Amino acid sequence: MARNNPTFSCTACGSSFNKWSGRCDGCGEWNTIQQDKGISAGPPSKSLGARRGASVTLSDLSTQEAPPPREHSGIGELDRVLGGGLVPASAILVGGDPGIGKSTLLLQAAAQFARAGVSTIYVSGEEASAQVRMRAQRLGLSDAPVRLAAETNLRDILTTLEAERPQLAIIDSIQTMWADNVESAPGSVSQVRAAAHELTSFAKRRGVSVILVGHVTKEGQIAGPRVVEHMVDTVLYFEGERGHQFRILRSVKNRFGPADEIGVFEMTGAGLAEVTNPSALFLSERGQPSPGSVVFAGIEGTRPVLVELQALVAPSPHSQALRTVVGWDSGRLAMILAVLEARCGIPFAGLDVYLNVAGGLKINEPAADLAVAAAILSAREDAALPAETVVFGEISLSGALRPATQTENRLKEAQKLGFTSAIAPAGGKAVGATGLTLNTMSDLTGFVGEIFGAG
């Protein structure tokens, strides 16, 4: 019987090796390679009615062996991002900037799950139990039957979870956990990877849902190796600007639901309140129509969202004009400016261009191209678009306009919020969008000529 060969990893960068060496080839550090050791192997698995490691045929799985239904937290926005609720035996990673509200959200979620009958343990490695209780009292959650623990030793945490067998365990945060079999400081790559691996394995082995809190680096990535994101089933990012009252919970990976789904929350004195109509929130501070202001009808996951795009075009005092973007891809802005100049004959030399997505929302879909072009042209020509008009569509390098997906859902959301007209590419499926005037364009030149009288 073949025995497993030992594996080694670098405690500084996390690189894996088949044998020990004095110097790490990944980061160049000396004496940082250690042999990997597991904390617990666990009892033989009884899943699927087979012995551990044995394979079964997919068609042999009966309905009795199907996983139990999802657990609902009672927080609709959180359940939406999770894909309809919490899947048993799932591992979830929640990342976000410091102070953005991760612990507040998860403490509220723990209270809601516990009130719904889900046995829940909240393990804090950053606060004492009394401090967590004070925060729960401030949020009005003192009566929630949530068990609290303040511990950073991974072995002690796993022992407690083995003994109590909760349905949900929240670990806040994974960077504070340390495994005594790994010779490195807490928060290092090796410690984060080892802790995430053990907790994820425990979730699968015991049928316990585990939520891990992860800090985010200056680059916007979850601190630690990217392999942590591959270990878990779902990765959620908690986003938002400190100057705005709302927060966005975004799914970037989900094995049990759609990715890129978002949930919107508003930060209040009593914690995070869910926002069921984010479009109204994003447009709540929009005043009278002004040059450079355009409403974009976008799609975030499965949800249509209306957001205001703001542009400013001004003469540049510098030899090289500035291109400043907040909430959108700067490379795509450069592409749109090039298309406007090459296909429509509108120059931007010597002009600074500023683009901002109002409210701090980050937009990734290419359907915002036409709205960005409209905002830039509106600012350049000092001509405001009609206040009750939404714009969306993708711009190709040839200047042609390509239809966006889910046109009907975008138009329905705009109509629901009182918009009366829309500008979109020709060819989009707008079935059922009655009561809203749809102005379709086939190329960017026609759009510039009809809307701004130039090109």
Confidence at residue 41, expressed as pLDDT on a 0 to 100 scale: 44
Asked whether 198 and 40 are in contact (CB, 8 A), the reply is: yes
Asked whether 251 and 260 are in contact (CB, 8 A), the reply is: yes
CB atoms within 10 A of CB 205: 16
Kindly state the helix (H) or strand (E) to which residue 106 belongs, with its residue range.
Answer: helix 102-115
In the three-class reduction of DSSP (H, G, I as helix; E, B as strand; rest coil), residue 330 is classed as helix
Residue 442: partners with Cβ closer than 8 Å, 6 or more residues away? 400, 401, 425, 426
List pLDDT tens digits, range 29-76: 888 887 776 555 444 444 444 455 566 676 665 545 555 688 998 899
Q: Provide the token pair at 433.
A: 């969008």
Section 181-202 average pLDDT: 87
Which CA distances in Å does 78 have to 70, 142, 199?
Answer: 13, 21, 22
Tokens 């989009």 belong to which residue?
428
Higher pLDDT, 15 or 328: 328
Fold of 70-275: Rossmann fold (3.40.50)
Fold of 281-452: Ribosomal Protein S5; domain 2 (3.30.230)
Q: Which positions make up the binding site?
A: 96-103
Smallest Cα–Cα separation from 122: which of 88, 96, 74, 160?
160
* Spatial separation of the C-alpha atoms in residues 61 and 64, rounded to whole Å: 8
Where is average pLDDT lowest: 245-249, 296-300, 364-368, 396-400? 245-249
Kindly state the helix (H) or strand (E) to which residue 294 belongs, with its residue range.
Answer: strand 293-300
Q: Provide the token pair at 430.
A: 């707008």
Calculate the average pLDDT of the chain: 85
**C-alpha of 116 from chain center:** 26
b/e 102-124 (16+ beta carbons within 10 angstroms → b): bbbbbbbbbbbbbbeebbbbbbb
Confidence at residue 358, expressed as pLDDT on a 0 to 100 scale: 87
On the question of pLDDT at 259 being above 90, the answer is no
Confidence at residue 50, expressed as pLDDT on a 0 to 100 scale: 45
Largest CA distance in the chain: 80
280 band by pLDDT with thresholds 50, 70 and 90: confident
Beta bridge mates, 174:
none
* Spatial separation of the C-alpha atoms in residues 248 and 47, rounded to whole Å: 36
Q: Which positions make up the binding site for ATP?
A: 96-103
* Spatial separation of the C-alpha atoms in residues 419 and 231, rounded to whole Å: 44
